[in-house]
């Protein structure tokens, strides 16, 4: 799932080298965290949220029985936690 979201996101953004994904998997839930460059958040969301909604639908279809959740995480907050 991580590669699927990464592949779809890199096609949308201006800074594909700054696309990072993290998967948190539970028994019934699959959470995919997507981190992109600040300038690319609007591109990933798309007009009216169309792009992110489509990516969520693809992820949901590919996840099988687990409920799939795709979230865009704040890049600065994630970097601050690592340091």
pLDDT (tens digit, 9 = 90+) per residue, 37-68? 999 999 999 999 999 999 999 999 999 899 99
Q: Which tokens sit at 79?
A: 């970097």
**Tell me, what CATH number does 51's domain have?**
3.30.300.20
pLDDT of residue 81 exceeding 80, the answer is: no
Tally of structural domains, the chain: 1
For residue 56, the enclosing domain spans 2-82
pTM for the full predicted model:
0.82
The DSSP code sequence of 13-63 is: -S-GGG-EEEEEE-SSEEEEEEE--GGGHHHHH-GGGHHHHHHHHHHHHHS
């Amino acid at each position: 799932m991580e590669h699927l979201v990464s592949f779809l996101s890199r096609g949308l953004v201006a800074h594909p080298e700054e696309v990072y994904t993290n998967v948190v998997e539970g028994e019934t839930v699959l959470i995919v965290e997507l981190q992109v460059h600040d300038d690319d958040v609007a591109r990933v969301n798309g007009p009216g949220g169309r792009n992110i909604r489509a990516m969520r639908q693809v992820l949901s279809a590919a996840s099988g029985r687990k409920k799939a959740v795709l979230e865009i995480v704040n890049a600065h907050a994630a970097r601050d936690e690592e340091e």
